[in-house]
Chains A and B, each alone.
Chain A
Amino acid sequence: MIKMEVTRFRPGEDDAPIVQSYEVPLRKEWAVLDGLNYIKDQLDGTLSYRWSCRMGICGSCGMTVNGKPQLSCATFLTDYAPGPVRVEPLRNFPVIRDLVVDISDFMTKLPKVKPWLIHDGEVPEDEFLQTPREMDEYKKYSMCINCMLCYSACPVYALEPEFLGPAAIALGQRYNLDSRDDGALERRDVLASAAGAWACTFVGECSTACPKGVDPAGAIQRYKLTAAVSALKDFLLPRGARR
């Protein structure tokens, strides 16, 4: 058995979260999520949390496990033996209930970076040609599962809720770097705004937390350099010479 200390918050009942302890079996194969499912099914049906794929790809099950943002379906109880395992909601988000946080802030910011392909000119009859090397340029940034672990790890997001945040910027970059895309200029107003890439001070914890190797910190740094260079060009070149 291992002790799980789970943060509970019941709106209307509690003013602030409280901690509740449960004993769950310690099995080699069990993820933290399996422990929670055991609690829900056998001990306490009132515990609320999100999960779906239990294979680390849907991005629902982000939680703070022993202080670190994690996918609870891909984090194993045995790694915390002998316990206790502390399970809290993701930090930096409002808590709706127990381990469920409100990510609507991200959902409203995401469309602002225009995370879709913008192509000027003709679309070919068949596929756009894109070599594997061209794909490598953006591939890693396309791996984001929107799990919000990076937002939970980023102190700038905690302090400045206006900040677009790591995943949204990385997704904007994902399209900017796609050889099929011509939308970089359209995205610039948002990505290169004060609440965009410039707000990031390169804490770098977003990339440490990311379970999918997206490296949002790198994406942002890279974007800053490109944006700064193009701003410099705008500044130095007369209007007509610009594209």
Chain B
Amino acid sequence: MSRRSPEPLVWLLFSGGGMAAALLVPVLLVLFGLAFPLGWLPAPDHAHLLALVGHPITKLVLFGLCALALFHWAHRFRYTLYDGLKLKQASTLIIVVCYGAALAGSAGAAAVLLMA
């Protein structure tokens, strides 16, 4: 039955990821990717960040962001390959690779966050 199609759930993850990425990624990327390395702003000291990352709420938020953002990527990239490169024939392979990578990435993120 097509109603069982996983498409809606994947799409929800994609959308959640899109929303999370839109809301949070720009500020984080500007801070850590540009502002600190370029010296526009003083980089926060290690202790502060350690405390921050160690806090369970931060861990939860960051995990959510990473996992959702990865699924966002997986879904969009899958369709980019279909449409942009006309690769629809390789659909199964693309699905396995994209969502598989997102799953693996999320597990990796969990590991990193738990250890930090």
**Which A positions have Cβ atoms within 8 angstroms of B?**
155-156, 159-160, 188-189, 192-194, 198, 201, 224-225, 227-228, 231-232, 234-235
Contacts and interface: CB of A to CB of B under 8 A. Distances in A.
B83 A192 contact: no
Contacts of A159: 82-83, 86, 88
Interface residues of B, number: 16
A65 B8 CA distance: 37
B9 to A, nearest CB: 6
A100 to B, nearest CB: 27
B7 A194 contact: yes
B9 A156 contact: no
Contacts of A193: 2, 5
A231 B9 contact: yes
Contacts of A160: 82, 88
A56 B52 CA distance: 61
B12 A192 contact: no
B11 A198 contact: yes
Contacts of B3: 188-189, 192, 231, 234
Given A159-B88, A189-B2, A192-B3, A224 B11 contact: yes
Contacts of A194: 2, 5, 7
B7 A198 contact: yes
Nearest to B79: A201
A192 B8 contact: yes
Contact of B7 (A192, A225, A232, A234): A192
Contact of A227 (B8, B76, B86): B8
A101 to B, nearest CB: 22
A61 B15 CA distance: 38
B2 A192 contact: yes
Contacts of B1: 189
B83 A232 contact: no
A130 to B, nearest CB: 29
A228 B15 CA distance: 10
A14 to B, nearest CB: 26
Nearest to B86: A159
B83 A156 contact: yes
A137 B45 CA distance: 54
A20 B9 CA distance: 51
A193 B3 CA distance: 7
30 contacts: A155-B83, A159-B82, A159-B83, A159-B88, A160-B88, A189-B1, A189-B2, A189-B3, A192-B2, A192-B5, A192-B7, A193-B2, A193-B5, A194-B2, A194-B5, A198-B8, A198-B11, A201-B76, A224-B8, A224-B11, A225-B15, A228-B8, A228-B11, A228-B12, A231-B3, A231-B8, A232-B8, A232-B12, A234-B3, A235-B9
